[in-house]
Structure 1
Amino acid sequence: MSATRDDRARDDRAGVDRAGVDRRTVAKSAAALAGLLLLDGTRTAQARTAGGVTVRLPAPTGPHRLGVTTLHLVDRHRRDPWDSAIPVREVMVTVFYPAGAVAGFPVAPQMTADAAASFLETGHRVRRELPETGVNWAATVTHAHAGAPARPVPRPVLLYSPGGGDPRTLGTGTAEELASHGYVVVTIDHPGDAGEVDFPGATAYREKVRQTVFRGDPRPHADFFRTAIETRVADTRFVLDRLESLAAGRNPDAAGRALPKHLGRALDLRRVGAYGHSAGGTTVAAALYEDRRIDAAVTMEGYLDHTPAVPGRAGELFPIAEHGADRPLLLLGSGDFSDRQALERSWAPVLARSRGRAHRRVLDGAAHWVFSDYAATAPQLQTAGLMSAEARTALVGKLAPRTSIPAVRGAVRAFFDRHLRVC
């Protein structure tokens, strides 16, 4: 990651690499990845089955075993912005948390069978680099046990918002890493925007799986982008409301499905962070400005301005860029991001106006989707012959996952460790 000369000098004295991550942390994380992922471009752990190639996610490096559950949340005070026939706003979230005993609780898949079938259809449409066939997305498993009891110890809470058109499941690797180190991580789907959302039961939507309305990048379309970000910020704040209800002993799930034991007791809502990628990065930065309950945020290559009226010019700044951040904000970027100049036009103001509370890091040799699970899966797809080298480079860059994954994980975790004081 890039840094100023003074930053590098301080980092050298502190034992920190250019990613802003302690070198010992990177070494430990890389060791945990060995044997599981394609680390050097020649070895892979994916398997071929009748359903296609199965890709694997990197193992978390923390000391905690993981539990996971999903919540179907309904906001009856908002209409759905993407479908006028839906009178409420429905949101799906996944909660990863440090677990107690996990025996007898199955390991959860990354995607449900219905979501995986939909992703096979929509993934290539949203991300042209992805193969149209040949991948068994339903076979990829997490490292978290569905429904396992939570450890009844209050933990800092982190909210995650994915990239535009992406489902929350594509942020599983980083979420598991953070949870394994003592956080409760809540990944949020934004229906209508997300690639696909699989609802567990009755829904106001007409079908069980809701697909994205996007047909490409929403950023060039001013109305789409504004609606997406406003909706995402409102979703994020609503999820935080429902977590408060959960911490107070109530069940916020729309169908009242059983919750993992002690889940509410694991939430310390006095310590809340948010992180997001691309449109999700925009979302969490905007939410940091709007909602005082959020103590710190990481935006991974999220624009901090609206779509410019004239291409190549600056757009209307979000308030956090116009006025600066008054709480910690980390801006993470990739060295090979194709739209870096436009991103810089919105990042420069917040860096200049935040009185040292905003900082920037750039991961050299990486591209935009390195901040998602594609950092792990794209190299495996390339080795399996399902993705070209050019497509892999366009998606996540040339940087090997043995370097990129620990760097991204380490930067996000070090930031929240510093500002939320996890113990």
Structure 2
Amino acid sequence: MNDTFALRPPSRRAFLGAVLLGAASAGLPAVPARASGGLVPVLPAPTGPYPVDVVRHAFTDPARTDPWDPALGPRQVVVGVVYPARSVTGFPRAPQLTPGEAAVFGALAPLVRGLPAAGVDWAGTLTHAHAGAPPLPGRRPVVLYTPGGGDARTLGTGLAEELASHGAVVVLVDHPGEASQVELPDGTVRESVLHGPPDPATFRTMADTRVADLRLVLDRLGELPHAAVTDPCRTGILGHSAGGTAAALLAARDPRIRAVANLEGYLGPEPWPGDRPLLLLRTDGFEGAARIERSWAGLRARRRTLRAANHWVLTDHAAIVPRLHAAGLVPDAVRDGLVGPGDAAASFAAVRRELRGFFGRELRGLPGREAGRVRR
């Protein structure tokens, strides 16, 4: 069972709960959602020759009961699919967050990361993808994206649009119940049920649930809108933080994954299979870097360390946080703790170059420009 759905306001909203971010945060009290308004974050434009399209889609897995809330019944997984487009003329740019998602994120942000409690219009941020545009014809490599612990898939928007603008199809996967906020097809905004750092059993549930969610998406790529332009034989995966852990676990269990990019994620608890190309990116400022580096010891991989950088420079926060800092909405300590004191834009550009080159090589190349005019 699946459902493709349009971006729209929620029909109802659950009480705001705590969220686990980066797989290590303190428990949070419930707080009311805040009104939007103020500075609008801006995401970096993709650099490729193709304009991009985005569509939201949902899968239901009748074989699994939701592990975080069994009362909800079968597991539901929401994805955002970013394609290279033939033309985006006449199609609107899609927002990064729905109004309901933005309200929840805006209420959580100051409690978890020190982002401003007011002065930011989280609902105003537009992506560079256009909703409803026709895809560019051709069979294209597929890259799955799984976010950091407690993060929503939308923080991978800049990475997804970059790869799609160069010819890949990127499937951003949310993990409802763990993600900070996810709007479901009925308009409900589902929030995280996690409180505080996970104990070993909870972390195992997180990892196993993520792998099962990703396998569900792999199994049913053919049900995605515009599935005819995907090439399931050229599939890679990209994960940030806990998503990097899940990406490696999926590759260890599923040979359909041809290449793995791990953005500062611990490799464990299962051994890396060693027979798939691996890209390892990390920052020099992340407090868990030493433990992560030990888990990467002895692996054959392409590696890069970003200097004067921190954990969330590997996400859209690389663009968002410096803009808030420049506007006086966050202090130096918050900026440094999220993206580091260095040039976050340059770090994020380096990450996008690394990913573009890695998946271009290992998935037998991102296609070049087809004959004919590509219209924006």
Could you say which TM-score interval applies, normalised by the shorter chain?
A: 0.7 to 0.9
Q: Deviations over 1:17-48 (max 9, x none)?
A: xxxxxxxxxxxxxxxxxxxxxxxxxxxxxxxx
- Counterpart of 2:218 in structure 1 is 240
- Counterpart of 2:274 in structure 1 is 325
- Of 298, 307, 329, 1:364 maps to 307
- Counterpart of 2:128 in structure 1 is 143
- Of 182, 185, 193, 2:178 maps to 193
Give the Cα–Cα distance (whole angstroms) in 2 for the partners of residues 50 and 145 of structure 1: 23
Give the Cα–Cα distance (whole angstroms) in 2 for the partners of residues 215 and 122 of structure 1: 13
CA positional deviation for 1:183: 0.4
Give the Cα–Cα distance (whole angstroms) in 2 for the partners of residues 273 and 233 of structure 1: 14
TM-score, structure 2 as length reference: 0.85
**Amino acid in structure 2 at the alignment position of 1:381:** L
Query: Secondary structure of 1:166's match?
Result: coil
**Amino acid in structure 2 at the alignment position of 1:93:** V
- Counterpart of 1:253 in structure 2 is none
**Amino acid in structure 2 at the alignment position of 1:232:** R
Contact 2:36 2:123 in 1 (8 A): no
Give the Cα–Cα distance (whole angstroms) in 2 for the partners of residues 367 and 361 of structure 1: 13
* Runs of 5+ consecutive residues of structure 2 not aligned to the other structure: 1-34, 368-376
Give the Cα–Cα distance (whole angstroms) in 2 for the partners of residues 392 and 267 of structure 1: 38
CA positional deviation for 1:390: 0.9
**Amino acid in structure 1 at the alignment position of 2:237:** A
Contact 2:222 2:228 in 1 (8 A): no
Runs of 4+ in 1 over 3 A off after TM superposition: 215-218
Per the alignment, do residues 136 and 50 of structure 1 end up closer, same or farther by CA in structure 2, a change over 3 Å counting?
Answer: closer
Residue 292 in 1 paired to residue 255 in 2?
yes
- Of 334, 349, 354, 2:283 maps to 334
- Of 400, 403, 408, 2:346 maps to 403
- Counterpart of 1:210 in structure 2 is 190
CA positional deviation for 1:335: 1.0
* Runs of 5+ consecutive residues of structure 1 not aligned to the other structure: 1-48, 203-207, 247-258, 306-316
- Counterpart of 2:101 in structure 1 is 115
Per the alignment, do residues 50 and 394 of structure 1 end up closer, same or farther by CA in structure 2, a change over 3 Å counting?
Answer: closer
Query: Secondary structure of 2:202's match?
Result: helix
CA positional deviation for 1:177: 0.6
- Counterpart of 1:32 in structure 2 is none
Q: Deviations over 1:238-258 (max 9, x none)?
A: 011111344xxxxxxxxxxxx
Give the Cα–Cα distance (whole angstroms) in 1 for the partners of residues 361 and 314 of structure 2: 20
Give the Cα–Cα distance (whole angstroms) in 2 for the partners of residues 375 and 80 of structure 1: 33
Give the Cα–Cα distance (whole angstroms) in 2 for the partners of residues 271 and 135 of structure 1: 40
- Counterpart of 1:70 in structure 2 is 56
CA RMSD of aligned residues (A): 1.5
Of all paired residues, the percent bearing the same amino acid is 51
Give the Cα–Cα distance (whole angstroms) in 1 for the partners of residues 196 and 159 of structure 2: 25
Give the Cα–Cα distance (whole angstroms) in 1 for the partners of residues 196 and 169 of structure 2: 32
Q: How does 1:266-281 map to 2 (within 5 A)?
A: 266-281=229-244
Give the Cα–Cα distance (whole angstroms) in 2 for the partners of residues 373 and 149 of structure 1: 25
Contact 1:164 1:217 in 2 (8 A): no
**Amino acid in structure 2 at the alignment position of 1:240:** L
The number of residues matched between the two structures is 332
CA positional deviation for 1:360: 2.2
Give the Cα–Cα distance (whole angstroms) in 2 for the partners of residues 76 and 374 of structure 1: 35
Q: Deviations over 1:127-147 (max 9, x none)?
A: 322222221110000111101
Give the Cα–Cα distance (whole angstroms) in 2 for the partners of residues 132 and 214 of structure 1: 22
Residue 282 in 1 paired to residue 225 in 2?
no
Give the Cα–Cα distance (whole angstroms) in 2 for the partners of residues 132 and 224 of structure 1: 30
More helix by share: 1
**Amino acid in structure 2 at the alignment position of 1:318:** E
**Amino acid in structure 2 at the alignment position of 1:337:** F
TM-score, structure 1 as length reference: 0.76
Q: Deviations over 1:352-403 (max 9, x none)?
A: xxxx3x2322111111111110011000111111111111001011121331
- Counterpart of 2:31 in structure 1 is none
- Counterpart of 1:231 in structure 2 is 209
Give the Cα–Cα distance (whole angstroms) in 2 for the partners of residues 129 and 225 of structure 1: 25
Give the Cα–Cα distance (whole angstroms) in 2 for the partners of residues 344 and 165 of structure 1: 22
Which has more radius of gyration? 1
